[in-house]
Chain A
């Protein structure tokens, strides 16, 4: 029964994406909607991403310095660890988990509300491919904007690590900079962007799916919104593990 349920939803999800990928009725309308979504997802999430990123960097620096205390590991390793932890894992994963909560629930509620108020039916009857018009702009916007947010988040995180360790006297400015410049592998940045793209696709499409197929009333809409966050988070973590295995092997 559980497996049947999973297969049912997966099949419906794939079919929804199949319908969504089609030629737009009017490119200018899709373009306008994509720009609106980019603004909502990108500018609208900048503050929360920045706030979380600065603390991620700060906490990583403080905790790693605590672990190094009394060891022979050079202190500049703090900068190196903050940089790599942030770029490889924390920036893409944390940012996307947070965005699944903020953007994902918003998408599910927006589309679900449109379904319940018959807006989607109204568009269908006009001849609009609603799966395409409501889903594709969100997916494209997320694929463009979320990797940018992740990059900004990684940068702010590194600044957060600096602020937590240099002004507080844990290490000297030169040591932190030395750590940031040590053992740099450009592929880590590629890995960050691959993760960001995959996670953005997951969080937008799963949330769109939850909203697009909502039935019933406000309770079901709330459930759809919750499911969007929960399933996006689970799938992001599963994808994180798989990508870690694939990209580092």
Chain B
């Protein structure tokens, strides 16, 4: 489990996060949702230590992340996998080399063992046989899946996904969502997903926080979204008249 306690973050005069206190549960898909500029990416970057908070704490289990020295931070990061918005695959490496990179860097496995591990990760994301392709030679959806394969290759305890569905068509988005959900359950890991994809909210939102102007405006799970009368949530989720009508019909209004 990951906990944040009273996180504040400012850039110069601009306060982006204002006292975020929340929990991200193990074995669940935890979603951070909100409009562009609400502070989702900043919160995610704070959780993985790419940014330092102005004040506040982030706890990985019983460990206060920002009290650790560099060596201890790296030890925690060995347990972290992250899928980036643009996948962040290394262009000059093949798919296999990308996924193998953490194994090359941190394990003493033989080449054969590493190859086996890479193949099993690729198989897990339904991408067997693309080992020798370069990132530029595969589609955006495939790149995301390779990103997920690389994120899980060291069997992390924590998985972070920054807008995993951005730039993908609805069908591929569903595949990615299901994959993340399945991996979370299989490996019983803590998954934190930063998204503004409504389908993800309704399909895999087991623990959701809605950020609005740097604060948590709503928290709950997907089952509570339809019936909630929180105006900020409804404004955000059912932004278009079409979605509003859909909600009304679902509620039988």
Contact = CB atoms under 8 A, between A and B. Distances in A.
A26 B105 contact: yes
A128 B105 contact: yes
B77 A126 contact: yes
A17 to B, nearest CB: 15
Contacts of B48: 125
B88 A119 contact: yes
A124 B75 contact: no
A125 B106 contact: no
A117 interface: yes
A127 B106 CA distance: 9
B78 A127 contact: yes
Contacts of A121: 50, 84, 88
Given A26-B105, A125-B50, A118 B77 contact: no
B104 A122 contact: no
B82 interface: yes
A119 B50 CA distance: 13
A98 B203 CA distance: 58
A129 interface: yes
A220 interface: no
Contacts of A129: 70, 74
A122 B88 contact: yes
B9 to A, nearest CB: 17
B211 interface: no
Nearest to B102: A126
Interface residues of B, number: 24
Contact of A126 (B70, B85, B101, B160): B101
Interface of B is mostly: mixed
Interface string A103-131: 00000000000000111011011111100
Contacts of B77: 124-127
Contacts of B84: 118, 121-122
Given A127-B74, A127-B77, A129-B74, A117 B88 contact: yes
Nearest to A125: B82
A127 B75 CA distance: 7
A28 B111 CA distance: 13
A25 B106 contact: yes
Given A119-B88, A125-B50, 14 more contacts: A25-B106, A26-B104, A117-B91, A118-B88, A119-B90, A122-B88, A124-B50, A126-B101, A126-B105, A126-B154, A127-B74, A127-B77, A127-B80, A128-B105
Interface of B: 48-50, 70, 74-75, 77-78, 80-82, 84-86, 88, 90-91, 101-102, 104-106, 154, 160
6 shortest A-B CB distances, which residue pairs?
A: A127-B77, A118-B88, A122-B88, A127-B74, A125-B82, A127-B78
Interface of A: 25-26, 28-29, 117-119, 121-122, 124-129
20 contacts: A25-B105, A28-B104, A117-B88, A118-B84, A118-B86, A121-B50, A121-B88, A122-B84, A122-B88, A125-B48, A125-B81, A125-B82, A125-B160, A126-B78, A127-B74, A127-B77, A127-B78, A127-B80, A127-B105, A127-B106
